[in-house]
Structure 1
Amino acid sequence: MNLRFLETFVWVARLKSFSLTAEKLHTTQAAISHRIATLERELGVRLFERDARDVRLTAEGADALDHAERIVRAAAEFRRRMSDPKALRGTVRIGVIDTIAHSWLPQLIDRLRHTYPDVALELNADTSVDIAKDILANEVDLGLMMGPVEGHGIVNIELCTFACVWVASPRLGVPDGPLELTDLARFPILSFPRSSKPHKAMVGYFQRLGEEEVRLHTAGLSTLIRLASDGLGVAAIPAATIQREIAEGTLLALNVRQPFPPLSLHAVYQEAGDRPLPGLIAEIAREVADAFCRSVDPLIAW
């Protein structure tokens, strides 16, 4: 049985489109149709129901998909183990959230530069929600983000967890001592962008007050740090990204009774037997994240 035909079957099932699969595998739609027809003849079953607008798995196709994915996964792992890093080339599109960009991304880039000198990285900073959409749409090869992401053929590798700490500028005049949510709500609340998981967590966090009038001012991480440092509000920020500001005293860690939920970070990619690089880079990201966590206070990152 032709492994390439199995890989084609898996991609058609994921993308639900012969044309998108042809684009993904850099071939023609006719070639994709031929591979699927040949595979169906070999197996003696119909894998897809096709009409002018839709491609759907048959019952037999849905049963076959799980087995095909396992075979493709094993082949991809074999390729990864046998690949010579110096021989790998190409461009890898990576979506990354600001939290990682402000912590261990530079170490990852440096490691990749030495490990895969002929691989180009195309980095795009975005929210986890949008990166997940791009991965599912095959517009990003690897996401470094808050996960996990659900979907056929999606691999989630746990990287690390970052604790969040409430902070404010000394000039804002937040009182010392244990603070309740009602104490925080007296000040402007700075939050991550509206579509992000931390923002949703922030909304739920203040719903405990039973008040809907807590006003959240949203921005990306760099802007949040700047606004909080300038005394324009209080913010819950991953402690690993503001160690310098806390050490210099431009931001003070607040003693809040109800801790803000930590951020769980993942490397996420779609398995593809013909493209080992996303999986290889994800494993290196895990090693770099682990080394970063061991270099800081274990209460900050683990």
Structure 2
Amino acid sequence: MELSQLKIFKAVADQGSIIRASELLHCVPSNITNRIKLLERELGAPLFIRKGRGLIISPSGRLFLGYVNRILSLCEESQRALDPASAPSGKLKIGAIESAAIGRLPKLLSKFHQLYPSVQMQFSTGNWTQLSNEVLSHDLDGAIIAVKPEHPDIESVEIYMEELVLIASPDMGWIHEPHDLNGIDIFMWPEGCPYRKKLVNWLQRHEVSSPITSIASYGTILGCVSSGAGVSLVPKGVCEQFSRGGSLSEYVFEDLLPVKNYFVFNKNVEFHHAKDKFAELLQAEFKDLRCGF
């Protein structure tokens, strides 16, 4: 069964005449008749009922026409999807670390949907190792992470620099310097988190000893800090989302340098129109956060 046969069948079904179908397709009637007979032989069912010089589509033909319309429609859709000049469409599977999902992406995801409503976005969160592996296995089309992967099949593009903010309850008093944290409980994401690694190195450099409790949820971390149980180091984007109304004190230290965040994707995927447009929007929307450092 060939695509050209399906187009011929549809033309005859729509026109109700081999002569009119031949004029539409610019080919001789005998060729159309032979192609229809071959198709009927292959399917093992009559597609048309011959009545005088005309044709009436058979019950089998009406059933087959429904499938043909869907097949031809999908072929046209695939051509549009691969046309660089066309609007992106189809599924786009994006992942992100939670800090990016909470602090930076909500407005961008909304804007992307408004710009490209034909794209079906599937969004998930995870740690950077998990997300990188899912990009490698093609379970994700792209991901936002805070570590640059070294795998040869992963391409990475820097999208923004994330400032780091130390947060504490106002009831804890003012934190003037790193040594003020000695002995204070610190709530951070589990080991492997690049923000936690940055904090640990900073504490060691200043010879500060403080217990770190692992919590894999920014909501829970912020709740613990707000209650006065301890402090945390969070990305500025997360802080901006939660620290409204004076419930948290914020501290910025010059030697706690920003962390680069990247958009990563599998370099073996040569063309993905929706993913490419998403990457372009990321770079455009976060230009100020990338160029300011």
Equivalent in the alignment of 1:169: 169
Deviations 1:30-52 (CA, angstroms, capped at 9, x unpaired): xxxxxxxxxxxxxxxxxxxxxxx
1:189 is matched with: 186
**Equivalent position of 1:111 in the other structure:** 111
Deviation at 1:236, TM superposition (A): 1.0
- Structure-1 separation of matches of 2:118 and 2:98: 26
Q: Closer, same or farther in 2 for the Cα pair 1:151/1:276, shift >3 Å?
A: farther
Q: CA RMSD in A?
A: 2.7
Which of 192, 198, 203 is residue 200 of structure 2 equivalent to? 203
Corresponding residue pairs, total: 211
Judge conservation of contact 1:268–1:282 (CA < 8 Å) in 2: no
Aligned partners of 1:83 and 1:224: how far apart in 2? 46
**Contact kept in structure 1, 2:104 and 2:237, CA below 8 Å:** no
- 1:233 aligns to 2:235 (yes or no): no
Equivalent residue, structure 2, for 1:284: 281
Structure 1 length-normalised TM? 0.62
Provide the residue aligned with 1:269 in structure 2: 265
Who is 1:95 aligned against?
95
Distance 1:111 1:81 in 2: 22
Task: Classify 1:244/1:142 alpha carbon distance in 2 versus 1 (closer, same or farther; 3 Å).
Answer: closer
Contact 2:84–2:273 under 8 Å retained in 1: no
Look up the equivalent residue of 2:116 and give its one-letter code: Y
| Uncovered stretches (5+) of structure 1, i.e. residues with no partner | 1-78
Partner of 2:240: 243
* Counterpart contact for 1:236–1:260, Cα < 8 Å: no
Contact 1:228/1:235 (8 A) holds in 2: yes
Summarize the alignment of residues 4-153 of structure 1 with structure 2, pairs less than 5 Å apart.
82-85=84-87, 88-153=88-153
Name the amino acid aligned to 1:193.
P
Aligned counterpart in structure 1 of residue 219 of structure 2, from 218, 222, 234: 222
Letter in 2 for 1:289: F
Summarize the Cα distance change of 1:278–1:168 in structure 2 as closer, same or farther, 3 Å threshold: same
- CA displacement, residues 55-112 of structure 1 (integer Å, 9 cap, x when unaligned): xxxxxxxxxxxxxxxxxxxxxxxx9893311xx3221211111222222312221222
CA drift at 1:118: 1.6
What is the TM-score with the length of structure 2 in the denominator? 0.64
Structure 2 counterpart of 1:200, one-letter code:
K
State the percentage of identical aligned residues: 19
Paired with 2:110 and 2:240, the residues of 1 have a C-alpha distance of 21
Letter in 1 for 2:115: T
How far residue 169 of structure 1 moved from its aligned partner, in angstroms, is 0.6
Could you say which structure has the larger radius of gyration? 2
Contact 2:147 2:194 in 1 (8 A): no
In the alignment, structure 2 segments of 5+ residues that lack a partner are: 1-80
How far off is 1:250 after superposition? Answer: 0.5
Q: Is the 8 A contact 1:107 1:288 kept in 2?
A: no
Q: Deviations over 1:261-297 (max 9, x none)?
A: 3221111111312433222211111112236x49xxx
CA shift, 1:159, in A, is 0.8
